[in-house]
Amino acid sequence: MYTIYHNPRCRKSREALDFLKKENIQHEVILYLETTLSEEKIKNILVQLQIHPEKLIRTQESIWKELFKNKELDRNQYITILSKYPKLIERPIITKNQKGIIAKPIKNLIKFIDRI
């Protein structure tokens, strides 16, 4: 089963969820703004995505610009920030079988499904 880390206010996230529904792909929806992700969960997602934590940050968000822009941060600090400020998490994230992608644009999701 696929898991989508979803923000209903995000157009790209809604597109990914709609695609999964349209294609009748079994999935679980995690509303990560309501159910804050633990640091351990974020670490696991990073392993699935095979990226460094700074690549998961939405740097255009005002929270980032006001609190963290131009600061030297280590891996653990990025993970703590992502857990504490889930709005900064890039979306949508889709995972399955210890693999994952950021489904933006939607063609990333289509390629991911074809590979799995």
Which residues are known to be catalytic?
10
List phi, psi (to 5°) of 65: -60, -40
d(CA 12, CA 5): 12
* Cβ contact 64:88 at 8 Å: yes
Q: Tell me how far apart the alpha carbons of residues 13 and 89 are, in angstroms, rounded to a whole number.
A: 12
What gap in Å lies between CA 8 and CA 40, rounded to an integer? 24
Please choose, from the candidates 35, 28, 21, the residue with its C-alpha nearest in 3D space to the C-alpha of residue 1. 28
